[in-house]
Structure 1
């Protein structure tokens, strides 16, 4: 099974290093020296990680054969893909791989459907579920114990207990009325029917 574990950002310095946007809970395992990763677009890879270090809170990687800024910049926006055994599980009982969580139904404790997890965003402070609502809109739900009360892989669902305002319909109403107000303005920012 293939998993996207990172996206290459801009070049760093002049010796071939690149910044990466990490998309795995286990960067030390998936993005360590010697790791060979497939790429998207495929023509770019495979890439072998030569070294890695953290600089100002960002992971920097250097790949074998990439020695200068030009080569590093050519890799920008490339997705790094690792081969993972589907049966492989994280060491900790309450940890999950992204591929286990993607497509889970998100419901409230009473069974009310909220949506479906389409992406996991790994931020420095916490992970976020990107959840697609039935109407096509998206909501971000922090993957923390206080909010995500249960992950049931057999039932393919995540049970949440959101604080007020996180997914309230009233927010969608406010957003849509704001959009209508903006649509009622001319390109120069003046309400329709006003101006010269």
Structure 2
């Protein structure tokens, strides 16, 4: 039997130094911190290329909770200066078994190539996923160019990997902005004849 496919899983972001001994407040991107953040857990880092931590890993010493906020302690991060050098770093777990996928967690390779559907009609295809500290963006290729779609529940309410479909409910103008660059100026009444203009 072949081994189950494995990949990376993004599990958190370091947000703020806590105290003077290297502790760092953590924003969780996982519903299962008790499994992901155990002493000895190792994380790869998504940081700018100029960061001294670029290409390095962190090993967790301890995870504690202060006023409901998770605070992480890492090996080799022993003072506030070291902690501050890691702020905004995104933590990834390597070689995660795909069968361990968490609810509502998808991997980039699962999303790329999916059809993007709005109101029952295909509007484009996911070509990549961009990860940023605030949120992820689905980059959708449309006939008029690429559209950046915030990967949040309000705009992307459903992902069906099996069916190959991402359902979107974008705000007005998100997909039309690119098309408008080359769109006709419209008739005297301002109508362009675009179906998207009718709500």
In structure 2, the residue corresponding to 1:136 is in which secondary structure? Answer: strand
Structure 2 match to 1:113: 123
Cα distance in 2 for residues equivalent to 1:75 and 1:122: 13
Match of 1:13 among 15, 19, 24: 19
Cα distance in 2 for residues equivalent to 1:129 and 1:46: 22
Counterparts in 2 of 1:156 and 1:122: CA distance versus 1, 3 Å: farther
Cα distance in 1 for residues equivalent to 2:63 and 2:172: 42
In structure 2, the residue corresponding to 1:88 is in which secondary structure? Answer: helix
Does 2:173 align with 1:169?
yes
Displacement after TM superposition at 1:47 (Å): 1.6
Deviation sequence 1:63-87 (CA, Å, 0-9, x none): 1232211221232333322123343
Counterparts in 2 of 1:131 and 1:45: CA distance versus 1, 3 Å: closer
Displacement after TM superposition at 1:37 (Å): 1.7
Counterparts in 2 of 1:155 and 1:58: CA distance versus 1, 3 Å: same
Which runs of 5 or more structure 2 residues have no equivalent in the other structure? 1-6, 48-52, 182-199
Which runs of 5 or more structure 1 residues have no equivalent in the other structure? 178-196
What's the RMSD between the two structures over aligned residues?
Answer: 3.7
Structure 1 match to 2:41: 35
Structure 2 match to 1:68: 79
Match of 1:156 among 138, 145, 164: 164
Cα distance in 1 for residues equivalent to 2:68 and 2:176: 34
TM-score, with length taken from structure 1: 0.61
* Counterpart contact for 1:18–1:62, Cα < 8 Å: yes
Deviation sequence 1:92-148 (CA, Å, 0-9, x none): xxx23231654243213523225537257898xxxx76333433332335426x972
Question: In the comparison of the two structures, how many residue pairs are matched?
Answer: 162
* Counterpart contact for 1:118–1:132, Cα < 8 Å: yes
Counterparts in 2 of 1:48 and 1:110: CA distance versus 1, 3 Å: same
Counterparts in 2 of 1:31 and 1:106: CA distance versus 1, 3 Å: farther
Give the 5 Å matches for 1:36-115. Answer: 36-40=42-46, 45-56=56-67, 58-90=69-101, 95-99=103-107, 102-103=111-112, 104-113=114-123
